[in-house]
Amino acid sequence: MTTRLDMTRWLVPAVGIVLGILIAIALMGQHAASWQIAVSVVIVVGYAVAVQLLQRRSDVAGVLAGRPVDERWSAINDHALSLAAQVTAVVLVVAFLVVTFAGGDALPYAWVGAVLAVSYLAGIAWYRSHS
pLDDT digits (tens, 9 = 90+) for 21-59: 999 999 999 999 999 999 999 999 998 888 888 877 777
Return the DSSP state at 1.
-
Q: What percent of the chain has pLDDT over 90?
A: 59
Q: How many CB atoms lie within 10 A of CB 64?
A: 19
pLDDT digits (tens, 9 = 90+) for 74-96: 788 788 889 999 999 999 999 99
Domain residue extents for the chain: 1-69, 71-131
- The pTM of the full predicted model, rounded to 2 decimals, is 0.62
